[in-house]
Structure 1
Amino acid sequence: MNQWLNACVATERAVTVIKATYFHKEKSKRIAKIIIAGLLIFMIGTSIYDPVYRRIIDEQNDDEKRTWCIVTYPRGVTVYNSIVQTFHFLAPFMINVVSAVILIATKSRRQTAVQTRRTYRELLQAQFQQHQYLFTGPVLLVILGLPRLIMSFVLKCMKSKNDAWYFSIDYFISFLPPMLTFVIFILPSKFYKREFHESLTIYLSRMKRHLQFNT
């Protein structure tokens, strides 16, 4: 879900550059609410099949009692599951990349009317260097999400106590992208990093004044 939200942010960023002064902030907020609701329904709808084919079986022997998680996908559902997992993994990445390309190309084309002494290629290279974090972020998210995608294909259910380690690793890996949002998107960007420092300075100043007022 978080990767889709990042893709939505990237899309809005590109739309903002394309529309420029014609961009309506309030209208964008209304559309964002609709998209988030639709995205939630879409995510549930594409994965609702999984619990249907999972069942738990208790096996009791003389020595011990085991609980097995069994998943039995029909052939068609197996293919569908692979397609859905791959789509949710690659589609947000492609949206991020395409949005970044559109943003850079649009800004470069507009600057050609102002900076007439520089070629479009030079402006494009300058814009790429300025906004290269728009590419590094999605690439890092793909690298972090790749182990989880592989595990979703390899691991279906826990068949022994040793498999618990794999599922634990898979569970904690899913938290890495949202935990590293600041490192991936804020720190590489000069603009966002400057805004962060300014916001932090304002917040600390307000806190300092509040403490001085109370004392």
Structure 2
Amino acid sequence: MFAIKFWFVVITQMNTSIHLTVLEGGCKSIEILLKLFFYCDTWLNACVAVERAFNVYKGVNFNKEKSKYFARWIIFILPFCIMTTIIHEPLYRQIFHYDEREKITDEWIEYFVIDRHTWCTTSYSQSIQDYNTAILFIHVLGPFMANLFSALFIIIQSARRRSEAQKKQTFQQHLREQWNEHKQLVISPFILLLLSTPRLIISLLSGCVDVFSHLWLYLSAYFISFSPSILVFIVFVIPSSSYRKVFKQTLFRIFKRQ
């Protein structure tokens, strides 16, 4: 969806003969779908973190079949819940279209060159803008809190159980071992939050900053906000020693077959 959004903007700006109906349809739908998939990605990661913590809490009593049952329902219901929070956006999106005429004189001939400009614009009232900011904070901070508290629960609960079974070491020693083993579960949410921070800052500054004077600032924040979904390997695999080990083993098996 990110690639579709990018090339839609590029092609529509290069080809001015595209019908306005196509432009309006893309304006009202592509960004909404992009947000839907982006929020689904972050919330599904949070659901995985919560399930992992619940697995540690239940231990051997964890019901895998029931977990799969709930997972199917969450995958089905979650997009509808997210869509209800952003369903209003197409109503405030519209096409702004204007022609710029330039007079050109070539020897004895005078003619006009028409440069056509088409932009997808949004116009929110203050109450709607405040609502959008609140929803953005919920979709960014909600998964972050779920990931962080689930990771901390896994580390503390695992250390407590090991201290009860292996009394030769203190609880602090087991806690340190569990931190070294699962620290990537705490590091990853902070990386995701850090990469999402520019989007939050831009949403707060949008009312008092001239957008056209800071285009690169807005574009950079927009691209950075999607980097967690693009850089899954860097965010989740590289910080984890166990994931890196499995990744190396997988590569070794692939190259061995070849």
TM-score bracket, shorter-length normalisation: 0.7 to 0.9
Letter of the aligned partner of 2:198 in structure 1? P
Which of 162, 178, 199 is the equivalent residue of 1:127?
178
- Of the structure 1 ranges 19-28 and 47-56, higher mean CA displacement relative to structure 2 is found in 19-28
Cα distance in structure 1, aligned partners of 2:88 and 2:100: 32
Q: Does 1:137 align with 2:209?
A: no
Q: Does 1:13 align with 2:64?
A: no
Which of 120, 133, 145 is the equivalent residue of 1:82?
133
State the partner residue of 1:175: 226
Q: Which residues of structure 2 form unaligned runs of 5+?
A: 1-38, 103-114
Letter of the aligned partner of 1:150 in structure 2? I
DSSP-derived class of the 2:239 partner: coil
State the partner residue of 1:184: 235
DSSP-derived class of the 1:113 partner: helix
Deviation at 1:135, TM superposition (A): 1.1
State the partner residue of 1:98: 149
Letter of the aligned partner of 1:35 in structure 2? I
How big is each residue's C-alpha offset from its partner over 1:55-78, in whole Å with a ceiling of 9 and x where there is no partner? 223234554554454433233222
Which of 48, 68, 72 is the equivalent residue of 2:87?
48
Rate the CA distance shift 1:61–1:192 in 2: closer, same or farther, 3 A.
closer
Q: Is the 8 A contact 1:10 1:96 kept in 2?
A: yes
Higher share in strand = 2
Letter of the aligned partner of 1:33 in structure 2? R
Q: Which has the higher contact order (CA 8 A, sep 6+)?
A: 1
Deviation at 1:172, TM superposition (A): 2.8
DSSP-derived class of the 2:94 partner: strand
Percent identity over the alignment is 36
Rate the CA distance shift 1:139–1:61 in 2: closer, same or farther, 3 A.
same
Given the two structures, how large is their TM-score scaled by the length of structure 2?
A: 0.70
Deviation at 1:187, TM superposition (A): 1.9
Cα distance in structure 2, aligned partners of 1:155 and 1:57: 19
- Of the structure 1 ranges 65-74 and 90-99, higher mean CA displacement relative to structure 2 is found in 65-74
Cα distance in structure 2, aligned partners of 1:182 and 1:58: 41
State the partner residue of 1:118: 169
Q: Is the 8 A contact 2:155 2:175 kept in 1?
A: yes
State the partner residue of 1:36: 75
Rate the CA distance shift 1:68–1:179 in 2: closer, same or farther, 3 A.
closer
Letter of the aligned partner of 1:175 in structure 2? F
DSSP-derived class of the 1:58 partner: strand
- Of the structure 1 ranges 17-26 and 45-54, higher mean CA displacement relative to structure 2 is found in 17-26
How big is the alpha-carbon RMSD for the aligned residues of Structure 1 and Structure 2? 2.5
Deviation at 1:171, TM superposition (A): 4.3
Deviation at 1:167, TM superposition (A): 5.3
DSSP-derived class of the 1:118 partner: coil
User: Matched residue pairs, number?
Assistant: 205
State the partner residue of 2:3: none
Cα distance in structure 1, aligned partners of 2:237 and 2:211: 41
Cα distance in structure 2, aligned partners of 1:195 and 1:176: 24
Q: Which residues of structure 1 form unaligned runs of 5+?
A: 209-215
Rate the CA distance shift 1:75–1:155 in 2: closer, same or farther, 3 A.
closer
Letter of the aligned partner of 1:143 in structure 2? L
